[in-house]
Structure 1
């Protein structure tokens, strides 16, 4: 149940307030009974009726004040539960690091809103409707058990309809969830690819692609909503026939026979509306909850996920050895490379060269422990860390060809939210060559979406500052300067390779001779040949 993620004290308070709200219905029905019985008794005591009306009005004011608090507590619970779900899902998705983000975007936007509306709110309403049903039927049974039994038996038909329609709604909701994920990805693609679309004059084609996905999503949503609406209509129609018309006819006969007062009959009808309508509403709310099953399964996975805070900084780096490493893809069993051997000493600068498509990036991912080799092993500090992300990744920092920039401040993009001392931050800024940028714009300047307020070289230096700030002994560089001009590439390499504190392993397929001379050794992966500095 979603509400177990709310504060227990808030749920208890909500339940108490819901019980008070449910009593409002019984109070009004009872006062109507008394007033009608007084009116139909032949008495002309008008002041008695006025006093009853004033008492009813004062009671309603008290219930209204309680209902204000009820709504406040309800909205607080919805907010708090939503924040738990958002944190859990975001933590899970970020920790998984899946490059296919369409399902994650869909979950964090549309799916969570569906869970809020059709699950959290629905379950809160089910508490209210359940208490309303208990209060109304209890008082009705006290007033006339015969009529109460008639009304209760009549509720069987709406219940059967709900049971039949529930599985259909669940099936429709699964289809909608899948179509919604595709639509979300298409919108993301359209916005991210807008410049390419504009360049090649294909804006209409790109928009049409997203609109087709939107149409499929909306059609699936329409079918799901239509099924819910039809189910509700069937339930209400059955309730009106079996729960009002037939019982009221029986009540009229009892009244004609003198077994029922007019006030009691009207009260019973009013109460019946408030113990039949809650049941019908409960059926509808149950169907709403069922419609969120696909989204809820994803959220449950995130809620049950244990995030490991692995912030361990390795001690002294004593060296890394790669022995007879080979890799075969899991999907098509394609051999990427084999018999790779490499030794890296502390502070050593190693260039790995091979043609495009050889598998250089795959080799780096093996070092990080993201992939598991077919054969061979990777040893750090005399321990085998092959395929073990938890043991391996804290030894490495990583510089990408296209580093990701958050739409946030320069400070956040360097620290990534980590708490570091000003001394550590300034040292990383100086070593990465960012002093001029910080002096000109300040650490609290926004880098823009994708770092569009920075140049390519500045983005690379921010990535280097991140790496240096992590204080990890090995820096992996994946074609880090291939998109930069020669002068800037040389400047970046000087920053990376003149730092004696870290070992650098860079993969590249094209690099200048001057830059090559800055490495301690060059490994030609495709030829199994090593050049060392003389």
Structure 2
């Protein structure tokens, strides 16, 4: 029960975004809906008056009055159409914009440690296909359904005013479309969820195909890649077809039953008119007209309820995904490392029983530079991940100036520590925007970051407004790495973690980038590197050598070479 209340509360938070700061547009749209229902009922009444006047039955209005009434209703119709053309699009635009923005804001609260293990296709699907489905199948139909409900109530009242006996017949016959729609309705929400699941697979397949395009081409795996894409595409279209078929059956059954009920009322009204029950030709025609509104609501009710349930299921799916792995709070620490980082008996595993780090202890003094080397799978990158709180499920201790990492708030940690990775993400924007991450900094601070990171040459040649292209395609590998370094310098982080930043660069560029990192004085630099270059290694204050998740050796380059241990073997083989 408590879990259900929590789920309902999460749904309300998300669905509430449709109406937040959107009251005026909502009120105008509702007003238009109410007035449109009244207008349609007035047109039905005018139709009855016109037919009765034409057939010689008693009518309340003469021809001139009918003409003026018709002109007035048409004028109101034009005004309502114009108002709806403004209010409804504005409501939908703001509603879906706020829904997506709220969801993305919640996404940014995710814990860095676990987000990388999640399936991002869930969020891509939820914020694109699922959001479109919610807008089209629920929000857009919400006001038309409310209008139909008002027409239903108004039609019932008007029909009862004209002829209670014929109204009773209409109510009995209207049970047909209602029963038919209720029988055909179940399963639409499940079909919508199936479309959402298949869309996740399709988006994931498309993303993999684009990200791995070079691998596909180099291995000549075009046919296999096409087969994978085609399989997901066909599954998605099959799910959409099933959902459309469900909706079509629901609509068709309701429409057929509604037509049968409408014809039944027409025949009953004809019999009553001929039998002297006081039903005029105008009333009989208006009954048929009002039955259309009557049955429109009845046939639309199951479809609307099914779409509402489907929209709720899609909202719940996104809300549930965003509710897990949320970033936890902790204590704030100073933005400058004064003493150092201490690691004590650190162990970490991605899977139970498969330790990547085992009992590792080390100390990094503030302001010094350290290289972390070792063979593939030795735990180098995992060590940096743990230092960045990317793996909080570790055993042992990691302390920044004596404060255990688990107790430090993520925001405070990210102010203290910056990470430069091998794969630098670059936005399709200007060089300056990528350095500042779209924030405002003093000009002298930006210039300092550009100078220390070695970006001044690029800026002087092409300007800060130079567009980097999608994922930095207009930049060289070295320039992308320097942008990442400049970001860290601009934030004035006290600790710089570098994870194989030069692995994909040519030897000369890698040497220059690594040299730029070592030239940064005042920062604590911990650099994971595969390149064992003597000129660079001699500049580090310490070298940590990992082997099978343990600390095999540590010391300066000269000391390690004199020992002729594991590092000596690694270095000799690499030359």
TM-score band w.r.t. shorter chain? over 0.9
- The 5 A counterparts of 1:116-195 are 116-195=135-214
Is 1:401 aligned with 2:422?
yes
1:51 CA drift (Å): 4.3
- 1:532 is the counterpart of 2:553: no
Q: Which among 393, 398, 403 is matched to residue 378 of structure 1?
A: 398
Cα distance in 2 for residues equivalent to 1:282 and 1:101? 35
* Distance change in 2, residues 1:185/1:533 (3 Å): closer
5+ residue gaps, structure 2, are 1-11, 559-575
Is 1:39 aligned with 2:54? yes
SS where residue 25 of structure 1 aligns?
helix
Of stretches 48-57 and 400-409 in structure 1, the one that deviates more from structure 2 is 48-57
Q: 1:248 corresponds to which residue?
A: 266
**Local SS of the residue matching 1:420:** coil
| Residue 572 of structure 2: aligned partner | none
Is 1:15 paired with 2:30?
yes
Query: What secondary structure sits across from 1:232 in the alignment?
Result: helix
Residues 369 and 389 in structure 1, CA contact (< 8 A), matched pair in contact too: no
Any gaps of 5 or more consecutive residues in structure 1?
Answer: none
SS at match of 1:204: helix
- What aligned pairs does 1:434-453 form with structure 2 within 5 A after superposition? 434-453=455-474
Is the Cα–Cα contact under 8 Å of residues 121 and 200 in structure 2 kept in the other structure?
A: yes
Q: Is the 8 A contact 1:367 1:386 kept in 2?
A: no
Kindly report which structure 2 residues correspond to 1:122-521, keeping only aligned pairs within 5 A, or say none. Answer: 122-241=141-260, 243-259=261-277, 260-301=279-320, 314-318=334-338, 319-329=340-350, 331-386=351-406, 390=410, 392-521=413-542
With 194-203 and 19-28 compared, the bigger mean Cα shift is at 194-203
1:55 matched to 2:69: yes
**How far, CA to CA, are the matches of 2:398 and 2:92 in structure 1?**
49
Write the distance in 2 (CA, Å) between the matches of 1:122 and 1:230: 18
Question: Deviations along 1:49-70, whole A, 9 cap, x unmatched?
Answer: 3541342133112222212202
1:215 deviates by: 0.8
Q: 1:421 to 1:450 in 2, by over 3 A?
A: same
What do the CA deviations read for 1:447-493 (whole angstroms, capped 9, x no partner)? 11121111111111001001111111111000111222232222112
Q: Which of residues 81, 94, 103 is equivalent to 1:67?
A: 81
What CA deviation, in whole Å up to 9, does each residue of 1:124-175 have, x standing for no partner? 3222222222222222233323323332343334333433444311222222
TM-score, with length taken from structure 1: 0.92
Task: Find the counterpart in structure 1 of residue 45 from structure 2.
Answer: 30
User: How many Å separate the matches in 1 of 2:79 and 2:371?
Assistant: 74
Q: Deviations over 1:492-531 (max 9, x none)?
A: 1221112122100111233211111111001112243211
**Structure 1 residue 401: Cα displacement:** 0.9
After superposition, the Cα gap between the structure-2 partners of 1:163 and 1:477, relative to the gap in structure 1 and judged at 3 Å, is same
CA contact (8 A) 2:415 2:491 kept: no
Over 3 Å counting, the alpha-carbon distance change for 1:355 and 1:37 in structure 2 is: same
Q: Secondary structure at the match of 1:343?
A: strand
Deviates more, 1:342-351 or 1:485-494: 485-494
Q: Number of residue pairs matched?
A: 531
When structure 1 is superposed on structure 2, of 194-203 and 301-310 the one drifting more is 301-310
Partners of 1:25 and 1:136 within 8 A in 2: no
Root-mean-square deviation over aligned CA pairs: 2.7
C-alpha contact (below 8 Å) 1:367/1:378 kept by paired residues: yes
Matched with 2:128 is: 109
SS in structure 2 at match of 1:484: coil
In the superposition, relative to structure 1, how do residues 415 and 298 fare at CA in structure 2: closer, same or farther (>3 Å)?
Answer: farther
Counterparts of 2:238 and 2:485, CA distance in 1? 48
Give the whole-Å Cα distance in 2 for the aligned partners of 1:356 and 1:42: 97
Please say which of residues 311-320 and 142-151 is displaced more in the overlay.
311-320
Q: 1: CA distance between counterparts of 2:182 and 2:57?
A: 49
Cα deviation, residue 311, structure 1: 13
- What's the TM-score, normalizing by structure 2? 0.86
CA distance in 2, matches of 1:160, 1:470: 65
Q: Aligned residue for 1:84? A: 98
**Contact 2:331/2:409, CA 8 A, preserved across alignment:** no
Distance change in 2, residues 1:231/1:455 (3 Å): same
Give the 3 Å change call, closer, same or farther, for CA 448–381 of structure 1 in structure 2.
Answer: same
For residue 304 of structure 1, report the CA deviation from its aligned partner. 7.8
Does structure 1 conserve the Cα–Cα contact (< 8 Å) formed by 2:370 and 2:525?
Answer: yes
Identify if the C-alpha distance between structure 1 residues 43 and 175 changes in structure 2 by more than 3 Å, giving closer, same or farther: closer
CA shift, 1:336, in A, is 1.4
Counterparts of 1:413 and 1:90 in 2: how far apart (Å)? 20
Quick one: structure 1 residues 459 and 313, their matched pair in 2 at CA, closer, same or farther if it must change by over 3 Å?
A: farther
Contact 2:33-2:144 within 8 A present in 1 as well: no
Task: Tell me how far apart the structure 2 counterparts of residues 299 and 208 of structure 1 sit (CA, whole Å).
Answer: 29
